[in-house]
């Protein structure tokens, strides 16, 4: 019986690379999207045409109800959940004194609450099975903090704290929880940086380049798979050495 993984934010960037990675390795994949329905359906069809088992579901992860429906749909379609990748997130480049209550609320609800909601719903299904693996996606800024991105950095730091806590709480139920902290990756989210900014960031990276989404997806896949069966509670950077 093929395993099932739920991946949030699966239509672009790291999430899309994760969907492709798991699908190509024989997993049943349920991925969420927020607004880009046409894009999501096209992506689902492309993978289905290749013989992969994939389903796209509209979901706003900042809504606990939507997260509950997302996990329920995965159970209805495939009978169980073996893996959860909490990838959906938004960015905010703004200094502290100009960050509005609404901006802070949106970033925290999407980047932190969304992870919490999805983990809570997935855990309800994984605990009776006494197995499962969860990977959350934080950021190098969640570890070190970033100037003029305090709200974003705080939301990603919260994900790290949650991941460590859940690793302890869920470990007795055979559920592993790990966190990936990407560095500067070639994604739409980083389009806010100018070409010169990206060059400067690449120059500051010991490996001398920007990361690829596939490289993060490879790490996520390893952490979800049985190959990492004794790895839990870890925050693993995929940043080319940027955070050294």
Task: Give the active site residues.
Answer: 152
β-bridge mates for residue 6, sequence order: 30, 84
Strand, coil or helix: 141: helix
CB atoms within 10 A of CB 231: 14
- Does residue 221 belong to any structural domain of this protein? yes
9 φ/ψ angles, rounded to the nearest 5 degrees: 65, 55
pLDDT confidence of residue 217: 98
**pTM of the predicted model as reported, rounded to 2 decimal places:** 0.96
**What tens digit of pLDDT does each residue of 121-155 get?**
999 999 999 999 999 999 999 999 999 999 999 99
Return the pLDDT at 27.
98
Q: How many domains does the chain have?
A: 1
> In this structure, is residue 62 part of a structural domain?
yes
Closest C-alpha among 63, 61, 81, 59 to residue 2: 81
| pLDDT digit string, tens, across residues 49-80 | 999 999 999 999 999 999 999 999 999 999 99
| Contact status, residue 90 vs residue 106, Cβ threshold 8 Å | yes
The CATH number for 146's domain is 3.40.50.720
Q: What is the pLDDT of residue 243?
A: 86
Whether 244 is covered by a domain: the verdict is no
- The pLDDT assigned to 197 comes to 85
The number of helix segments (H) and strand segments (E) in the chain equals 9, 7
Beta strands, E only, the chain: 4-7, 28-33, 54-58, 83-86, 132-137, 175-182, 235-238
What is the structure's pLDDT at 32? 98
Residue 168 forms part of a structural domain: yes
Query: Which 3 state secondary structure label does DSSP give 44?
Result: helix
Please tell me the distance from the alpha carbon of residue 20 to that of residue 24, in angstroms, as a whole number. Answer: 6
Residues of the chain scoring pLDDT < 50 = none
Whether residue 110 is contained in a domain is answered as yes
- Domain presence at residue 43: yes
CA distance 19 to 14: 9
Tell me whether residue 30 is in a domain. yes
Q: Residue 34 is part of which domain span?
A: 4-238
Q: Say if 32 falls within a structural domain.
A: yes
pLDDT at 133: 98
């Amino acid at each position: 019986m093929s395993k099932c993984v739920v991946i949030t934010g699966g239509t672009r960037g790291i999430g899309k690379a994760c969907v492709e990675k798991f699908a190509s390795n024989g997993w049943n994949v349920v991925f969420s999207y927020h607004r880009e329905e046409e894009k999501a359906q096209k992506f689902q069809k492309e993978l289905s045409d290749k013989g992969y088992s994939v389903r796209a579901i509209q979901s706003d992860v900042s809504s606990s109800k939507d997260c509950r429906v997302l996990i329920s749909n995965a159970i209805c379609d495939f009978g169980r959940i073996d893996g959860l990748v909490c990838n959906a997130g938004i960015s905010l480049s703004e200094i502290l004194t100009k960050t509005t209550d609404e901006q802070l609320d949106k970033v925290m609800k999407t980047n932190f609450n969304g992870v919490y909601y999805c983990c809570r719903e997935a855990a309800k299904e994984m605990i009776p099975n006494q197995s499962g693996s969860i990977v959350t996606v934080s950021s190098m800024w969640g570890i070190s903090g970033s100037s003029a991105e305090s709200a974003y950095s705080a939301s990603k730091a919260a994900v790290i704290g949650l991941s460590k806590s859940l690793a302890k709480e869920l470990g007795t139920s055979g559920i592993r929880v790990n966190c990936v902290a990407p560095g500067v990756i070639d994604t739409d989210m980083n389009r806010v940086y100018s070409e010169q900014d990206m060059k400067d960031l690449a120059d500051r990276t010991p490996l001398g380049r920007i990361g690829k989404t596939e490289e993060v997806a490879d790490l996520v896949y390893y952490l979800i798979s049985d190959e990492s069966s004794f790895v839990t509670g870890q925050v693993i950077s995929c940043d080319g050495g940027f955070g050294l």
